[in-house]
């Protein structure tokens, strides 16, 4: 994996807390989450909430990729040639995240598969990028669904990359605008550091319009 650029201020959290302080803060956030669901909170992410998540995130970057891309625009253009297919229509229907090389071969997958491939390729290109899990609400939060996407910083601006959008011109949304229809819960960045968002604690608190990840 190439050396990635420094984490932009927009993606950064405080340094990790000692275990006992992290548990105390997690308990406090669960009872009273910060009002801004996009606020980053310094507390560990329990990836077991997503059973399909890899036990070792480094495996996402294992093996040689056969796809050559040189820019953020080329990443989006390649994704535009892929097809969306939910897990229910593949195999036994269980939630499964494909390795990026498997996704390259089939060019068929769901939101996690699109996002994991984009995250890998952007990290290989040296971008500050993170794979994000949360909720997307195309129209309003009453129709919010579990979703995965990528945050990427091009050195000037932060973007949300929606790998399932078509055409490719619709894949990039400024993070300042993405707040309207996306609610991140957890992320892992280009340096394999996990980040939690206040929305994760809104989910745990059982807010009426939100639900726990499947």
CA nearest 81: which of 46, 47, 106, 58?
106
CB atoms under 10 Å from CB of 205, counted, come to 13
pLDDT (mean) for 164-182: 92
Pairing of strands 182-189, 172-174: unpaired
Give the residue with greater pLDDT, 119 vs 200: 119
- Answer whether residue 7 shows pLDDT above 60: no
pLDDT of 123-162, one tens digit each?
A: 999 999 999 999 887 554 455 688 999 999 998 999 999 9
Give the residue with greater pLDDT, 169 vs 7: 169
pLDDT score of 198:
84
pLDDT score of 102:
97
pLDDT score of 147:
93
Q: Which fold has domain 24-58+69-204?
A: C8orf32 fold (3.10.620)
pLDDT of 186-199, one tens digit each?
A: 999 999 999 989 87
pLDDT (mean) for 90-110: 89
Q: Rounded CA gap, 29 and 200, in Å?
A: 9
pLDDT of 11-66, one tens digit each?
A: 665 555 455 555 555 555 555 555 788 888 877 788 988 999 999 999 999 999 99
CB 37, CB 197: distance < 8 Å: yes
CA nearest 197: which of 71, 43, 51?
43
């Amino acid at each position: 994996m190439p050396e990635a650029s420094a984490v932009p201020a927009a993606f950064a959290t405080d340094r990790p807390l000692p275990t006992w302080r992290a548990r105390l803060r997690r308990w406090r956030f669960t009872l009273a989450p910060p009002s801004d669901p996009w606020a980053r909170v310094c507390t560990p992410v329990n990836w077991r909430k997503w059973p399909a998540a890899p036990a070792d995130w480094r495996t996402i970057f294992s093996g040689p990729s056969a796809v050559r891309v040189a820019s953020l625009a080329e990443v989006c253009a390649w994704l535009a040639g892929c097809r969306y297919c939910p897990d229910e229509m593949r195999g036994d229907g269980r939630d499964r995240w494909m390795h990026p090389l498997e996704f390259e071969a089939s060019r068929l997958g769901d939101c996690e598969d699109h996002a994991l491939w984009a995250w890998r390729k952007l990290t290989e290109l040296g971008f500050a990028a993170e794979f994000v899990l949360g909720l997307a609400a195309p129209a309003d939060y009453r129709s919010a669904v579990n979703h995965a996407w990528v945050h990427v910083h091009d050195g000037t601006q932060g973007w949300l990359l929606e790998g399932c959008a078509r055409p490719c011109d619709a894949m990039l949304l400024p993070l300042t605008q993405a707040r309207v229809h996306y609610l991140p819960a957890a992320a892992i960045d280009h340096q394999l550091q996990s980040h939690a968002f206040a929305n994760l604690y809104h989910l745990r608190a059982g807010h009426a319009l939100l639900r726990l990840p499947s």
